[in-house]
Amino acid sequence: QVNSFKKMESFIDYIHFNPVKAGFVNLPEHWRYSSALNYLGKDGFIPITLFSG
């Protein structure tokens, strides 16, 4: 359950780093379908609404 901003950040990091841990890419933002680029202030492949607490 997500009940705090810190917990949500943790979940987002976990999701962003899954392709890295699997060895598909070297950085989260290199995964085409990741929102990591959006969180870096860049345009990602899929438009999203950022979680900002």
- The string of pLDDT tens digits covering residues 26-43 is 999 999 999 999 989 999
What pLDDT does residue 53 have? 63
- State CA 3 to chain mean position distance: 18
User: Quick one: average pLDDT of 3-18?
Assistant: 90
Closest CA to 12 of 33, 42, 44, 34: 34
| pTM for the model | 0.79
Structural domain range at position 48: 1-53
pLDDT score at 33: 92
Tokens of 29: 């933002």
Number of domains in the chain: 1
For residue 52, what pLDDT band results from cuts at 50, 70 and 90? confident
Q: Supply the mean pLDDT for the chain.
A: 90
Q: What does the pLDDT read at residue 9?
A: 87
